[in-house]
Amino acid sequence: MNRNPPNASLQAARRRFFDSGDAPRGLVPDTILESWQRCAGFGLSAEMRPRVEPMTQGEMSELTDRFEALRRLCRPELESLYADARGTGSIVTLASPDGVVLDALGSADFLDKASRVALRPGVMWSERHTGTNAIGTALVERRPVEVRGAEHYFAPHRILSCSASPIIDPYGRLAGVLDLSGESSVHHMHALGMVRFAVDHIEHRLFAETSREWSLLLRLHSDPALLGTAREGLLAFRDHRLVAANRHALELFGLSWDELGRRRYDELIASPMPRTDAMTCLRDHVGTTLYARVDRVGDLVPARTDPAPPSRPRAAAVVAAGERVTPRAPRPAFNAVASAQLERSVRLLNANVPILLQGETGSGKEVFARELHRRSARAGGKFVAVNCAAIPEGLIEAELFGYVGGAFTGARKEGASGVLREADGGVLFLDEIGDMPVSLQSRLLRVLQEYEVAPLGGGRAVTVDFAVICATHCDLDSAVEEKRFRADLFFRIAQHAVHLPALRDHEDRAGVIRSFWQQLGCDATGLALSDAAVDCLAAASWPGNFRQLVGVLRSLQVLGEPGGVVDVGDLPESLRRARSALPAVAFDGAELSDIALAAMESALSACNGNVSAAAKQLGISRSTLYRRLRLES
């Protein structure tokens, strides 16, 4: 950071604008001048002190509850920027879509200074209330904005140098704004870049969790190494029509948010739509080569034929439009224990008993839920999945219950039915139910008791019929004790609970790895995994479980050559390091050394001949231990 000298041009611009009423073009950025003009049009006086009405404790509590999902979504980036802000005498703030500050973290000294000019939670920082400032101006401009020192409209705000970027959801709607503020006497050279980088990650995560309404997601970039990162372009299609995008993709094709819903795939891409999720090359209509990967959310099945609304409860299968039947990742083979859990759960689901799935992130909760739906009497109905942690607080109620036209600012004129009505006749999957805002839990409980949904903004309640599967990685018992989750809702959804084990707890990890490799189509191309590579993969801890494993296998598939062999040296370095820490299973793929054999025999002896326990102690699969020691299973 550098000391920022007084700006004579800026002072001259203020005199011309505020004293003479002239437009000082060329002396200040056009963005600042246009904001000053808007503020003057609001009747704001630059020398006045902004009037701030402090929120009551109850109002502040209601505000934080209402935007809890947005705050949770942004938490990793807030904490990352906070770590930097403490060292540079700055603060990071998160604001709502209308400009109310929700969180302020950072330097204690500067937090105190910022509070003197009301840069604190609960205060409105829209232009209409607080003049030209990075938060309010970024919301108006819908792009990253920097406002330094005397560029602020109100004189007291000259102590601030602020950089902000709006957070925009996949449909082009404002979800919030992120801001980094420091002292105006210090030029924070990379502040705007840091904020933009953080917002890229927030929007990428929001996009990844909002795939309910489309059937195909196209990931694009001119650099293949950036596919899967927050800098990739994202285009989502439904029936070949563009329905959602991120800013990187819009810039790539020169599009605006207004073109969502109007453009088709063949208007943007000259190449045929990819049929697999392997990386491929596409060309746009000007001949530019782009690297792409497709995520196919699902295919459509025939539309429902019975016009009458179903009675509750109902067990007969109903064919519904829009069913997503294609999983996005390989499915783990269900062992005897999991198969038994599935069979019991199917019988309960058919009797309209809610199912609660518990397990770590990536442990296959949605895969299990989709298999439940596929085997149940409701297999012909929709499987509607909602991630309760991913939808911003201000949108989740409308997403779930729907709304009438004009119910709130930004609402569609025709209204929306909501996912609870979309699940009618099928299965509703509420993922991360433990992260649902407390304010909505009572309303969801009422729906599960009465099976009637009333949209926001009025309108008559509609009878619905769906089976319910919930999932969480949280300890709901503790959440109930701590009053973060309603006990009555917990007892309603947890009538039958299933715990899904982590990948590291699976008995035959090597078998799971080989199964996934085959499902990814690698065997069909002749690309093989060596036994040593399988053993190394099986020995990893996999904190991200199946999701992490599939990501690694897909990377190996893309980088491998058809007809070749993926060996230990081709694996990510972190996995190779983990393998090198296990000398008992270090072998070169030929004959095992006497030392390794002795280690295996020692492990078996220590475990009283229990092969599973010995394999777990060595960090290898049971089948590998059988094979290497020529034991009979």
Q: pLDDT for 155-211, tens place per residue?
A: 888 888 999 999 999 999 999 999 999 888 776 667 888 899 899 999 998 887 776
CB atoms within 10 A of CB 632: 4
Question: SS3 for 97?
Answer: coil
Banded model confidence at residue 226, pLDDT cuts 50, 70, 90: confident
| Domain ranges for the chain | 2-200, 211-296, 336-499, 504-629
Beta bridge partner(s), residue 223: none
Q: What is the mean pLDDT of residues 28-40?
A: 94
Question: Looking at per-residue confidence, does 279 or 365 come out higher?
Answer: 365
Q: What is the mean pLDDT of residues 454-462?
A: 75
pLDDT the model gives residue 618: 60
CA distance 324 to 383: 7
Question: Looking at per-residue confidence, does 232 or 80 come out higher?
Answer: 232
Question: Looking at per-residue confidence, does 150 or 523 come out higher?
Answer: 150
Q: What is the mean pLDDT of residues 545-557?
A: 84
pLDDT the model gives residue 461: 79
Banded model confidence at residue 597, pLDDT cuts 50, 70, 90: low
Q: Output DSSP code: residue 21.
A: -
Joined together, the tokens standing for residue 97 give 């879509």
- Helix, strand, coil shares of the chain as percentages rounded to 5? 45, 15, 40
pLDDT the model gives residue 53: 73
Q: Taking 60 as the threshold, does the pLDDT of residue 599 lie above it?
A: no
Q: What is the mean pLDDT of residues 370-397?
A: 80
Which of 2-16, 177-191, 582-596 shows the lowest mean pLDDT across its residues?
582-596
Banded model confidence at residue 601, pLDDT cuts 50, 70, 90: low
Question: Looking at per-residue confidence, does 559 or 622 come out higher?
Answer: 559
CATH number of 336-499: 3.40.50.300
Q: Taking 90 as the threshold, does the pLDDT of residue 621 lie above it?
A: no
CB atoms within 10 A of CB 67: 25
Q: What is the phi/psi pair of residue 156, to 5°?
A: -60, -20
Q: Taking 70 as the threshold, does the pLDDT of residue 80 lie above it?
A: yes
Question: Looking at per-residue confidence, does 398 or 295 come out higher?
Answer: 295
Q: Taking 80 as the threshold, does the pLDDT of residue 533 lie above it?
A: yes
Q: What is the mean pLDDT of residues 410-424?
A: 71
Question: Looking at per-residue confidence, does 26 or 327 come out higher?
Answer: 26
Order of strands, edge to edge, in the sheet holding 91-95? 101-106, 91-95, 174-183, 160-168, 145-148
CA distance 330 to 514: 11
Angle, alpha carbons 85-87-93 (nearest 5°): 10
- Fold equal for 336-499 and 504-629: no
pLDDT the model gives residue 507: 80
What percent of the chain has a predicted confidence (pLDDT) above 90? 28
pLDDT the model gives residue 94: 95
Which of 400-414, 517-531, 534-548 shows the lowest mean pLDDT across its residues?
400-414
Q: Taking 70 as the threshold, does the pLDDT of residue 567 lie above it?
A: yes
Banded model confidence at residue 153, pLDDT cuts 50, 70, 90: very high
CATH number of 2-200: 3.30.450.40
Question: SS3 for 539?
Answer: helix
Highest average pLDDT, of 97-111, 294-308, 343-357, 619-633, comes from 343-357
**Is this model's pTM higher than 0.75 or not?**
no
Q: Taking 90 as the threshold, does the pLDDT of residue 276 lie above it?
A: no
Question: Looking at per-residue confidence, does 598 or 210 come out higher?
Answer: 210
CA distance 252 to 221: 8
Q: Which of 165, 170, 37, 175 is nearest to 96 (CA)?
A: 175
Q: What is the mean pLDDT of residues 403-418?
A: 59
Q: Taking 90 as the threshold, does the pLDDT of residue 250 lie above it?
A: yes
Which of 106-110, 438-442, 517-521, 539-543 shows the lowest mean pLDDT across its residues?
106-110
Banded model confidence at residue 419, pLDDT cuts 50, 70, 90: confident
Task: For the chain, give the mean pLDDT.
Answer: 79
Q: Taking 70 as the threshold, does the pLDDT of residue 119 lie above it?
A: yes
pLDDT the model gives residue 134: 96
504-629: CATH, from 1.10.8.60, 3.30.565.10, 1.10.10.10, 3.40.50.300 = 1.10.8.60
309: Cβ contacts below 8 Å, ≥ 6 apart: 424, 462, 463, 465
194: Cβ contacts below 8 Å, ≥ 6 apart: 81, 84, 163, 180
